[in-house]
Structure 1
């Protein structure tokens, strides 16, 4: 879609791109959402792709993902041999409501910053205990837990001119046992609910992340694998307004799916069949 209100595109922003931020600006990375709907309030695009941020930096401490890393690059990553949870990277890429062509331009950071309930990069990074590094216009930076970034449907903690610079996933999370559940109304449709569970090797703990069915990510943690009643109780005590409502599912339907899949996951971990 043409954006006919745009009067300027900043192709070579400064190393701290928010320093020259002004009202009517928008970050341009993959642009897959930006160019999909009218944006009448925008006057200028600031192109982040020219800054040359490293896409993927694996190391002994974990995985650093540049915000402008494409979905295709993440999908094609050859993980380290001891990253037991690495298949979740590909699983999350496959959860996109997008063709492989879109993967070549859509970015990890863009999906996170859109902050839609069904954003699979949000699911992945919250479940893998990631942190986000945010750059402010004044040159300062802050680090925030992935689970605290999204505050609601299409809402997050970013302030004007602030940009997501990178995502860091710790190696400890990448070495965990894992399983997931995802429900869609059609085979290639938008997620109605997307859940990922992880467990530290040699322990009986459980971390359960619920997204797509909720307006913001929910992460439930247990020091030991809970029984069915306890797990169901934690889901049932979530606020009523956290369950998302759109054509892909009612709040009641999504609540039901979360309870159903959570019990499947609990039994799977209990049986050790992973």
Structure 2
């Protein structure tokens, strides 16, 4: 799309440089596809030189400018601790873009989160792994916020004017979890209509994250001793998510998204709590 109102492209990562009519630019895959008739400047963060991936005992810190291609490659990086089995989620999440290599090499993790669309696979992945954002604010301030709480609705989030996502921290305890992944769309190469990710942490906490089918992520947690039966899980989902809480568009109507959310939730429960895993009441 045309963006013929842009008068300058400014290389900066300083929120104090932000003014009315500006937009942060990383990969730009959504920004340039939608276009704009009101923006006057693009603040380019791609030359910031941030290390894409930093692995520590605390977990993995992804720079906001880490590309989807770099995340995909990380899944097979020998530097990852072998106990971090949740890294198996990285590639299915990247594949959920159903995008060309050009998009993979430009689109960024921070950009996918900031765009805040229901089908955003990085939102689903990071929410499911209890990732937290480091957000830079004007005046030299910064704050942290869980990805699952940062997203407030379709294309809505908690960013104030001038704020910028600096990085995403995925904690080690979530990376060491046993996980299960489910995704559906209306056709083989379609946009995500439903995405659910379940995980069981080393301490036994079971977390189910619902996304894709809802405008924002929803999480359900069950401690050891309170694991749900399939019927109880369905009841929990029905109690927390009304029919109107489901997203509705050409990529999936509300009744279908609701029905598939319930179905995939039970599938994940059965996979994680199989005969070889923790027992549940059936």
TM-score norm. by structure 2 comes to: 0.92
Instruction: List aligned pairs for 1:191-202, cutoff 5 A.
Output: 191-201=192-202
Alignment counterpart, residue 264 of structure 2, candidates 261, 265, 268: 261
1:228–1:263 contact (8 Å) kept in structure 2 = yes
Counterpart in the other structure of 2:280 = none
1:84–1:176 contact (8 Å) kept in structure 2 = yes
2:66–2:110 contact (8 Å) kept in structure 1 = yes
**3-state secondary structure, aligned to 2:234:** helix
1:216–1:242 contact (8 Å) kept in structure 2 = no
Root mean square deviation, CA, Å: 1.3
Counterpart in the other structure of 1:185 = 186
Unaligned runs of 5+ in 2: 278-282
Instruction: List aligned pairs for 1:1-150, cutoff 5 A.
Output: 1-11=1-11, 13=12, 16-77=13-74, 78=77, 79-150=80-151
Give the deviation of 1:80 after TM superposition.
Answer: 2.4
Distance in 1, matches of 2:62 and 2:159, equals 18
Alignment counterpart, residue 242 of structure 1, candidates 245, 252, 255: 245
Distance in 1, matches of 2:252 and 2:2, equals 32
Indicate yes or no: 2:154 matched with 1:157: no
2:243–2:258 contact (8 Å) kept in structure 1 = no
1:127–1:208 contact (8 Å) kept in structure 2 = yes
Distance in 1, matches of 2:54 and 2:260, equals 36
Q: Quick one: structure 1 residues 227 and 241, their matched pair in 2 at CA, closer, same or farther if it must change by over 3 Å? A: same
Give the deviation of 1:272 after TM superposition.
Answer: 4.5
Counterpart in the other structure of 1:231 = 233
**3-state secondary structure, aligned to 1:263:** helix
Distance in 2, matches of 1:29 and 1:49, equals 5
1:72–1:103 contact (8 Å) kept in structure 2 = yes
Segment drifting more, 24-33 vs 34-43: 34-43
Q: Which runs of 4+ in 1 moved over 4 A?
A: none
Distance in 1, matches of 2:211 and 2:129, equals 13
Counterpart in the other structure of 1:170 = 171
1:75–1:90 contact (8 Å) kept in structure 2 = yes
Give the deviation of 1:202 after TM superposition.
Answer: 6.1
Residues 88-118 of structure 1: per-residue CA shift (max 9 Å, x gap) = 1111111113212210010000000000000
Distance in 2, matches of 1:220 and 1:41, equals 40
Indicate yes or no: 2:206 matched with 1:206: yes
TM-score norm. by structure 1 comes to: 0.95
Alignment coverage as a number of residue pairs: 270
2:63–2:166 contact (8 Å) kept in structure 1 = yes
**3-state secondary structure, aligned to 1:69:** coil
1:225–1:270 contact (8 Å) kept in structure 2 = no
